[in-house]
Amino acid sequence: MKEIERGGIPVVHVCTIVPISQTVGANRIVPAVAIPHPLGDPTRTHEEEVQIRRNLVLKALKALGTEVHEQTVFTD
Amino acid sequence: MSYRIVHYINQFFAGIGGEEKADYKPEAREGVVGPGQALNAAFKGRAEIVGTVICGDSYFAEHMAEASAEILEMIRKFSPDAVIAGPAFNAGRYGTASGAVLELVSRELKIPVVGGMYPENPGVELYRKSAYIVRTSDSARGMGPAVQGMAALALKLLDGEKIGTPEEEGYIERGLRKNIFLDKVGGERAAEMLARKLRGEPFKTEYPMPVFDRVAPNPPILDMKKAVVALVTSGGIVPKGNPDHIEASSATHYGEYSLEGVLTADADHYETAHGGYDPTYANKDPNRVLPVDVLRQLEKEGVIGKLHEKYYSTVGNGTSVANAKRFGEEIVGKLKKDGVDAVIVTST
């Protein structure tokens, strides 16, 4: 991830354990749902789950479209 | 009288289960569980594990604040003289949980704390300043020396003995500075070091420079509607059957797979190769890790220009930093050649 950034392409990290992402050095971080299903929630219906996933991906795209100068966690 | 020790371990070392039990809630048990036996033996009667606190790795990572508070209370009830966590070897969530528990115990109960980890464990970078973390091997094959080192250091701390340098005591450098007196002044020592360096002889710096491997953020994507967005994951989503045989842990390579004509990462065609989390949910719907379905929707709606026709996948589970760095360097070269504008990396 950091190498992708170093290579010159903006990158967003969607992950559950934010402190690890920060330690590793991600600049744009979007907190995810849970470790075994970061972009989904098996307790919901399929439609609700797709909506959760869509919102997370939209948040990730918003992060990629936002200028940042330091490590930033996009919580909303 | 022997010292009272509380031992923190995860669900795996407690014998409760593997990834399918990683959401196990905190539990306190009297006496020794699992690797605590080896620790007790290493104490040679000078200290004894009076209680063991167990927590599932994923439960801790997903509920850090509540789990820490609950675990602290469980530990407090045993009235320990010191707390030991792990060894966690190269298990990232276990290392992070161990470190968080030790930091909290040290701050709140003001008693000695000792952990054990492989230097690349992310728990080291997060917590080495708060706790003594004994350097261990990357897997449980190194259990013997790990518990010996942890027990010895814990006893020294409990006895109030002077703790030597990281090399002498076998713990990971904490980034703390101590004033000491030496016979030779700094200038003289520096000149000697320089002379050794010029002669090509080995020399040892007295103040290693910290390595902060940080990369400045790239400018944002201004027009997402025209952007080519690529997916990269460390969650191990691969075409069914794992054609490139990506390892379930300590991956040595990554896969490049076509998404041409793929509208969704469905369970008939994709699965996870990852051995470090419960694969049930990802195998049932791989979009939960690799969100191809919604990216196709957003592509169709014109929110993004295009989903890149290839995705890259590896398993981030005890994978060495050197390998991960190499994967990243190779992948970014390919993405640039293909004209990708932005990347979403997903991790489990």
List domains and CATH numbers for chain B. Answer: 3-169 (3.40.50.2300), 224-346 (no CATH)
Partners of B229 on chain A (C-beta within 8 Å) are 61, 64
Low-confidence ranges of chain A (pLDDT < 50): none
| Cβ-based neighbour number of residue A38 at 10 Å | 28
Nearest to B221 among A40, A64, A68 (CB): A64
Residue numbers of B between 75 and 134 with CB closer than 8 Å to A = 92-93, 96, 122, 125-126
Residue B212: what pLDDT? 64
Residue A20: what pLDDT? 87
Q: How far is CA B252 from CA B244, B255, B315, B318, in A?
A: 11, 11, 9, 11
* Alpha helices, H only, B140-259: 143-158, 166-169, 186-198
Residue B211: what pLDDT? 66
Question: Which backbone phi and psi does B307 adopt, to 5 degrees?
Answer: -85, 125
* Encoded tokens for B212: 């902060």
Give the closest-approach CA distance of A75 to chain B in angstroms: 15
Contact B22, B57 (CB under 8 A): yes
Residue A4: what pLDDT? 94
Shortest CA distance from B60: residue in chain A: A17
Give the closest-approach CA distance of B66 to chain A in angstroms: 15
Closest of B125, B212, B218, B114 to residue B163, by C-alpha:
B114
Nearest to B342 among A9, A24, A53 (CB): A9
**What is the mean pLDDT, run by run of 10 residues, along chain B of 348 residues?**
94 95 96 96 96 97 94 97 96 95 97 96 92 95 96 96 91 84 91 94 80 86 96 96 93 94 96 93 96 97 96 90 90 96 96
What is the CB-side half-sphere exposure of residue B222 using CA atoms within 13 A? 1
Residue numbers of A between 8 and 67 with CB closer than 8 Å to B = 8-17, 19-21, 23-28, 32, 34-40, 42, 49-50, 53-54, 56-58, 60-61, 64-67
Residue B114: what pLDDT? 98
Residue count of chain A, please give it.
76
Residue B343: what pLDDT? 97
Residue B321: what pLDDT? 83
